[in-house]
Structure 1
Amino acid sequence: MLKSLQIVFLCILIVLISFPAVAELTKPGYFSNHDGIGHIIRLAEFDIAIKDGAIPPRLDKNLMYGYGYYFFNFNYPLVYYLGEIIHLLGFDFISSINILTLITLVLSGLGMFLWQRRHWGNMGGLVAGLLYIYAPYRFLNMYVRGSTAEHLAFVMLPLLFMFTESIAEGNRRKQTRHALLGGIVYSLLLLSHNITAFIFTIILGLFMLFHISLRPKISTLLHFILMGIIGLGLSTYFWLPSLAEKGFVRLDNTIARDYPQHYIYIQQLVNSPWGFGGSVAGPSDGLSFQIGEVQLVLSAVGIFALGYLWKHKRVKAYHLILYISILVLSVIFMLPVSSPIWENLPLLPFVQFPWRFLSWSIFAMAAIGGAASFVVGAVLQRINRFLPWVFVVPVVGGLFYFNQDYWKVNQRIQVSLHGNHPIPGSTTWADEQFPIWFEPKPVSIPKNNVEVVSGVAEVKINSWKTSRHTYDIDSKDK
């Protein structure tokens, strides 16, 4: 009972400590960023599709000047399903996106805490959860890029790895339950953000191999496979058409060619100016790719703590080595030295921005920070059993101090939606989900939904829904 109360208390503490990070999201209205307005417009289009009975939605019917745009067929639908649920509860589209972003950040920290406390105790789990929340890349996604879908994927990651770990550590009956839960979470990850799901599937595979090497059991391998089958099976409706039909749109000719322009330089990970601009070739990007001062310090402590763990907690040392390896790999994938990997690993160019591997970095550094806290706490406990918790105070203070400029928005703006009417453009920078055979691309809204190409006829529109158009044609030609 006491143990459960401690966990509940620490979860509440994480929620409270998270407030400065999400305070801007509690204010009315919206703010300027890269992609956020696109999310709001697409949520409105998703709502129209749902009410039109087009389930699952695949087409944004009003985009591209009313010709439609297949965004939902190729991109992360979960953020819009969740946003639609919030909207149907009575919130407008802007508030729905803000609420979802807020909840997502807090839940991601809680998930990391629940996972890492298994290894590093309550204090280590608490520190890991806070490092996961207060990482500059999280604020970059929230307030600079407006990448709500990628932000959402961070909730699934610690839960997915926690259930994967539970499969390896449990008996056969528990393995089946955890494979089912892990499969559900994996399906949610696949529906959350395509690119994050892809790059973390790589890490998930390494994680599975790691646990099989620690506890080589055939039942573990079979349940890992079962988890993957469940995850892929539950999300088949999305990823199968997306892969099968990607040749019909412009994906291969747009985003897959951009990655050479977006490698970063090692100094940018340590110190790069915060900004609201874009990613460009070279080290003069308009946005920051730093991984966080507190994260860096605790990662350094974690590396030194490896010796202590190797001597006293060998299995925990193995876990720490894994996280350090993930961190090193993440840095390599972001630097120009990794060009041969990008050029030869299938599908990797679709990641588009090498700096997206910062997601690996902050994921690993949260765990490394938890390990550092565990070892520091073990040393301090020799002096006084309450002293380890004092260590949390400077960690929280450092996270607040070094991130205080990152949880601010650029400027407040007014967002006007078009309703159920044609919208110029696609909400993506290269119209990459527009059909390849529609050339030239439209540049204006057509005068009528249906036009008579030749002859004389009267057209009466009866219904113009997302996936079904009905109209009567009265031909005057004899």
Structure 2
Amino acid sequence: MLDRAKTQTKGPQHFVTRADVLAWIVLAIAAVLASLPLLTRGYSCGHDFDFHLRSWMEASTQWKGGIVKPVWAFHAAWDAGEPRLLFYPPLSWMTGALLTLLLPWSGIVFSFTALILFLCGVSMHRLLRRWVSPGLAVLGGCLYLVNPYMLFCAYERTAYAELMAAAWMPLLLIGLLRERVTAWRIAVAIALLWISNAPAAVVGCYTMLLIGGMRWLYLLRKDRNAAWPYFGRVTAGFLLGVLLDAFYLFPFAVERKFITLNAALTPAASPEANYLFAYSKDEFHNGVLLHSSTIALVLVAAALVCGGVALLLQRKQVRAFAGMHDRDASLQQHNAWRIVVPLLMIYSVIVLVLQTPVSGPVWHHAPQLNFLQFPWRFLAMQGAVSVTVVMLMVKRITASHAVTQKTNTTWIVAGLVLTLVAAYGLANPIFRQGCDDEEGLAPQWTFFHRGDGFEQTDEYTPTHDDNDVLKIKLPAAWIAQDVRNQPASGNGSFPKGTPLPAEQIPHSDDLIFTAHATHADDVLIVRLRPFYGWHVVLDGVEQSALPQRPDGLLAVPLNSVGKHRVEARYRKPWDQWAGGALSLLGLGFLIIAAKREESSHSSLLR
């Protein structure tokens, strides 16, 4: 069914194989099967369901209003707003928002999950296809997209951003383990991780340090001339990946001091509370720990046992990385089975140790590792590692058998059956979460468009703003004689300004009010938490050093009796423009690096 027939396109290196096209079709079917319970049994209201759903609604609404790159979530903090769309990696919420514009609302969760699982399968297939037969590569893709941690994220946690980041984990392994390591491939994987999910990106960076470091040490012992070029390419790839994401990372670095980011580091979301089979007084959290701990043991055991079997079955002469050339010293000169499998087994042991209290000093002193919160987040990469080792073991066991169309078809059918069994035998009965009356898609959509707003995110709350005193169902604005005033019933509220003549229509981020002051000390209170980038203009004059309220809402002294025009305008600060320029620069470097790689490879094939 799957063969290596090639349809040539431009150049000797570029081709599309029929095997790849058929593999993508099979993996798309597998992703649909794995997500099918979300369509037939209804969506799962997992731990992060509300957060992601509201971000999708916020972004799609702002797109309709003409805001191309949303930053400010106007409906958060009960319509006072927060900068969640600036600080949260954009790829997942942009994807979800796009789906809300293209598809019926009732199928959004199923469509998003199926799409991401498909990408997971494709990336794993791309990793495996260089080492195993086409059928086994498809089976590995199916196994990866339904590995327990993937279903745990998709159904129980509904951690959609982390789920999306898992799609890029195999790409990072490709960059680190391929025969000819290139900076641009590592850069693409690192960039995709950072714009998908920050904790997963931290996992990716430490994985690059561990696996890349171990391979570098191996090369130092075997071939010093190859070791330093490898080190340089991996380092350059990391730096280029960060540069590509400067449009997101640079503003994050500059503006993080204006939010209470450390609020995410709660006692329940700390490494100490989430070690292997830890126990707390919170029964709900204990259920999560039981599932994550069991998954950790299963994945690590699979890697160690299957890796051991593969090494035991290793013959003295094994083909190393079929289809690769020998320009870069290492994996072709030295047996691939003696390098890749041990590296992945050692990595698996490290991941297991990180799940235990023994690793406490590492969690407290390694840079940014504490923001990972849960040690079991390393299982996103461990899933890719375990599937790789399992498929290499299967390859060793079946090495004496010829690869035929029949055997490829058998592996493919096995993969599809596996996804269906995992969906209805594991994901639906074990990981699936029920929904309260107000958690469902339809109620949340109704609340959002009714203008009720939704709860703030503590870590994205502007500094000095107290969430405990922030009231709900406040008017858009009201006049008070005291900065601390809360509106009473009938206390003149002012809705959002009416549209101006066409040549003066404000930017979509603008809030405009016309206030009539009856006292010289009147203050206009606006249901908005000002943040870096917001500018307040009173009667054409920009204001600074405005009075502070405990709840963080904007307070503008009107200073005189009469009619006043108050404008709150959000304009991208310099750091966001600079980040965009740096990303364009990185894109240019990426294209040049990829072209040089293509040219170099083509010259070697002549």
SS of 2:392 mapped into structure 1: helix
What is the rounded CA distance, in whole Å, between the counterparts of 1:5 and 1:422 in structure 2? 52
TM-score, scaled to structure 1: 0.83
Q: Does 1:247 align with 2:257?
A: yes
Deviations 1:89-140 (A, max 9, x none): 2x24553343121111022112101111212333442333222112111111
Deviations 1:174-208 (A, max 9, x none): x4xxx445433422211100000111111123333
Q: What 5-or-longer segments of structure 1 have no aligned partner? A: 269-276
Q: Measure how far apart 1:306 and its partner are.
A: 1.1
For residue 20 of structure 2, give the secondary structure of its aligned residue in structure 1: helix
The aligned counterpart of 1:237 is 247
Q: Structure 2 stretches of 5 or more lacking a match?
A: 7-16, 319-334, 483-490, 499-505, 520-560, 562-606
Tell me which residue corresponds to 1:407.
427
Residue 208 of structure 1 is matched in structure 2 by: 212
Match of 1:273 in 2: none
| Aligned match for 1:105, one of 85, 99, 117 | 117
CA distance change for structure 1 residues 59 and 344 in 2, over 3 Å: closer, same or farther? same
Deviation at 1:36, TM superposition (A): 1.4
The letter for the 1-side match of 2:211 is F
1:324 paired with 2:345, answer yes
Q: Secondary structure at the match of 1:419?
A: helix
Task: Answer yes or no: is the 8 Å Cα contact 1:105–1:155 preserved in 2.
Answer: yes
Instruction: Tell which has more relative contact order, 1 or 2 (C-alpha 8 A, sep 6+).
Output: 1
The 5-angstrom pairing of residues 49-448 of structure 1 reads: 49-89=62-102, 91-93=103-105, 95-166=107-178, 169=180, 175=182, 179-212=183-216, 213-214=218-219, 216=226, 219-255=229-265, 257=267, 258-259=269-270, 260-265=272-277, 278-280=284-286, 285=289, 287-291=291-295, 296=301, 299-309=304-314, 311-313=316-318, 314-381=335-402, 401=421, 404-408=424-428, 409-411=432-434, 413=440, 415-416=442-443, 417=445, 418-419=448-449, 421-426=451-456, 428=457, 431-448=458-475
What root-mean-square deviation, in Å, do the aligned CA atoms of Structure 1 and Structure 2 show? 3.5
1:31 Cα deviation from its structure 2 partner: 3.0
Q: Is the 8 A contact 2:203 2:377 kept in 1?
A: no
Which protein is richer in helix relative to its size? 1
- Alpha-carbon distance between aligned partners in 1 of 2:337 and 2:507, rounded to the nearest angstrom: 57
Cα distance in structure 2, aligned partners of 1:336 and 1:218: 35
Larger radius of gyration: 2
> Measured at CA, do residues 22 and 53 of structure 1 come closer, stay the same or move farther in structure 2, by a change above 3 Å?
same
Change in 2 beyond 3 A, CA 1:445/1:315: same
Q: What CA distance in whole angstroms lies between the structure 1 residues aligned with 2:294 and 2:425?
A: 13
Distance 2:307 2:417 in 1: 19
Cα 1:94–1:165, aligned 2, differ >3 Å: closer, same or farther? farther
Superposition deviation, residue 86 in structure 1: 2.2
Counterpart residue identity of residue 406, structure 1? L
* AA of the residue aligned to 1:334: Q
Q: Distance in 2 between matches of 1:284 and 1:190?
A: 25
Q: Counterpart amino acid of 2:380?
A: S
Partner AA of 1:371 in structure 2: L
- The alpha-carbon distance between structure 1 residues 226 and 340, as it changes in their structure 2 partners (threshold 3 A), is closer
Counterpart-to-counterpart distance in 2, 1:390 and 1:153? 30
- Counterparts of 2:259 and 2:174, CA distance in 1: 37
Q: Structure 1 residues 458 and 88, CA, compared in 2 at 3 Å: closer, same or farther? A: closer
> How many corresponding residue pairs?
454
Distance 1:388 1:449 in 2: 63
Q: How far off its partner does 1:329 sit? A: 1.3
Counterpart position of 2:5? 2
> What CA distance in whole angstroms lies between the structure 2 residues aligned with 1:253 and 1:295?
32
Alpha-carbon displacement from aligned partner over 1:373-410 (angstroms, at most 9, x marks no partner)? 1101114459x996687577777766655664323134
CA–CA distance in structure 2, aligned partners of residues 106 and 78 of structure 1: 16
Structure 2 Cα separation of the partners of residues 121 and 7 of structure 1: 12
Question: Which residue in 2 is equivalent to 1:471?
Answer: 513
Secondary structure, aligned partner of 1:183? helix
For 1:28 and 1:339, locate their aligned partners in 2 and report how far apart those are by CA, in whole Å.
41
Q: Look up the equivalent residue of 1:263 and give its one-letter code.
A: Y
User: Is the 2:78–2:453 contact (alpha carbons within 8 Å) kept by the matching residues of 1?
Assistant: yes
How far 1:247 sits from its partner (Å)? 3.2
What is the identity, as a one-letter code, of the residue corresponding to 2:61?
I
Paired AA for residue 514 in structure 2? D
The 1:256/1:310 distance shift into structure 2, 3 A limit, reads farther
What is the alpha-carbon distance in structure 2 between the residues aligned to residue 11 and residue 65 of structure 1? 43
Report sequence identity in percent. 19
| Aligned ranges 1:21-40 → 2 under 5 Å | 21-27=34-40, 30-40=43-53
TM-score by length of 2: 0.67
> AA paired with 1:56?
K
